[in-house]
Structure 1
Amino acid sequence: MEAAKVFFRSNLRFLRNRKKYSQEHLAQLLGLTRSKYTALENGQTENPPLVDLIRLSEFFRIPVDYLLRQDLGRWSEYELRKLETGAKEYINGKNLRVLSITVTPDNKENMEYVPVKAKAGYAAGHADPEFLAALPKFSLPNLPAGGTYRMFPTTGDSMLPIPEGSDVVARYVQDWKTLKPDSLCIVILKGERDFVFKQVTLQGDGTVLLRSLNKNYAPYTVRVDEVLEIWQYVKHQTDKLPEAGTDLQEIRQLLLDVKKRVEKI
């Protein structure tokens, strides 16, 4: 059987030259040493670490398997731009979208909890095995089988009536096209931003609409390539008791009672 061709080395050089970066400048942007980046580009690293592959994929906005198996130097500029701006294959998960996980000694997936103090660093560390290994781990009963789950803390009041400070249990979404409009999700965004808990709608123009349950917050959009991960809401936990019924609720109940009495007459 003929060995699969790997274009990782030549693709790195091509993508760097396309952006007109020196090796030293690109290494700085990636947070790597010059020697480590040079070794990657020159093929001196036989098995590049998964974390480095994901970092390069996110920086160049090119899926990992394209970095490895496609000769990007033969692609047209139009094809490259289409790939960078959220190609269909990236949205539906047919390309390699790597999710780092941790497992128990008997090889079962853990459920990690992202505490508030780790919230701001999750986007940077989501693919780092050491970051994930340091997160608290636990299990919950009665979750649907076959999924990968993680628990995220929420802050702020943008998702009321889900109480502030709730912990959201969510399932990892591989194929984003399976999401129905306004699906409740935890969305992991690139850059220095925290992850967000929003109603998610995938739009046909390569953007994602993010909407709060609290109507005091305006909806906004992000590009597909700004999204690292999507986790769909399953349930939430809170230590806050429901508030007592409001006057309006009491009035509504009185009107319903009157209606029932009238119907009996």
Structure 2
Amino acid sequence: MVKYLAMKKISKNIAHLRHLRGISQEALASDLNITRSRLSSWEEHRAEPPIDLIVQLADYFTVSIDSLLKIDLTKVNDLRDLLKIGGNRILFPVMVDSDGKDLVELVPIRASAGYLQGFSDETFIESLPRISLPFTDVGKFRGFPIQGDSMPPLESGAYVIGKYVEDVADIKDGKTYVVLTQNDGLVYKRLYNKIEQDGTIHLHSDNKAYYPYQIKPEEVFELWSFVCSLNPTDSPISDLVYNAIQNIQADVVQLRQSRLD
């Protein structure tokens, strides 16, 4: 069932990306060195492209393989909505409210542990509660819960609103970021760009009881620069955060189960 849904999405995505590029089936088939009838069978979901051509399609349209397989790209009308991450691109559809203001997605505390598995899952991201804040400019914003005491004066329960950073090379020394990595999941640290010096990024806690450590740039899945922090005990922010968290549609376990059913 999961494989069927993935291949059904890729069929729609190939046709949609081709239309966005304004190219014909003949032209795309020629560029891929395949027949038009073979391409047509993929778009009409009569056949499945092999893995080598899925990789070739991802490179051709400059999207990640993950996005090509898992995300419904028909929701995107402008390829500028695809933000670069590493050598490929990953989809970040920008959500707006009725007034056209960008909405900030909040990762609830109970869902933050599953963020590493869900960050590239459109169902997981779509389930996140959203709030509107007046000071967010153009870009992609997300709110992350702070846990622990490594970054005072922020305490557990506070939220950091971050703006998505496309390239780890853009890290500014001494600025704070939310970082997603395989080994540590979500962390909020003060970063130092030492890629040119020793090939690593240095992560420091403001609480000196915690030792700094290093990671390689390729370990970074997502990077969000600090915009502001929200203390849930401060009104009216508390009401916004509380209500948003209460309205979350499902947690990670429920999402995974529903996709397998």
- Counterpart selection for 2:171 from 179, 192, 199: 179
**Match of residue 69 from structure 1:** none
Match 2:66 to one of 36, 54, 66: 54
The alignment-based identity, stated in percent, is: 31
Query: Of the candidates 220, 228, 231, which is equivalent to residue 221 of structure 2?
Result: 228
Which secondary structure state, in structure 2, belongs to the residue aligned with residue 157 of structure 1?
A: coil
TM-score by length of 1: 0.55
2-side partners of 1:210 and 1:6: how far apart? 43
Partner amino acid, structure 2, of 1:175: D
1:134/1:163 CA distance change after superposition, 3 Å: same
Work out whether residues 186 and 197 of structure 1, in 8 Å CA contact, stay in contact via their aligned partners in 2: yes
Q: Give yes or no for contact 1:161–1:214 (8 Å, CA) kept in 2.
A: no
**Structure 1 residue aligned with 2:191:** 200
Q: Considering only aligned residues, what root-mean-square deviation do their CA atoms show, in Å?
A: 3.6
Identify the structure with the greater strand proportion.
2
| Deviation beyond 6 Å, 4+ runs, structure 1 | 44-48, 105-108
Name the TM-score, length of structure 2 as normaliser.
0.56
CA contact (8 A) 1:152 1:167 kept: yes
Equivalent positions of 1:82-231 (< 5 A) are 95-101=87-93, 103-104=95-96, 109-143=102-136, 145-191=137-183, 193-204=184-195, 205-231=198-224
For residues 44 and 96 of structure 1, the distance between their equivalents in structure 2, rounded to whole angstroms, comes to: 14
Mark the runs of 5 or more structure 2 residues left unpaired by the alignment: 1-22, 34-47, 69-83, 235-261
Cα distance, 1:210 vs structure 2: 0.7
Going from structure 1 to structure 2, the CA distance change for 1:55 and 1:221 (only over 3 Å counts) comes to farther
Q: Which runs of 5+ in 1 are unaligned?
A: 8-37, 57-91, 242-265
Count of equivalent residues: 174
SS in 2 for 1:228: strand
SS across alignment from 2:89: coil
Does the CA contact (< 8 Å) of 2:101 and 2:132 recur in 1? no
Contact 2:141 2:162 in 1 (8 A): yes
Quick one: structure 1 residues 40 and 112, their matched pair in 2 at CA, closer, same or farther if it must change by over 3 Å?
farther
User: Secondary structure of the equivalent of 1:97?
Assistant: strand
* Greater Rg by CA: 1
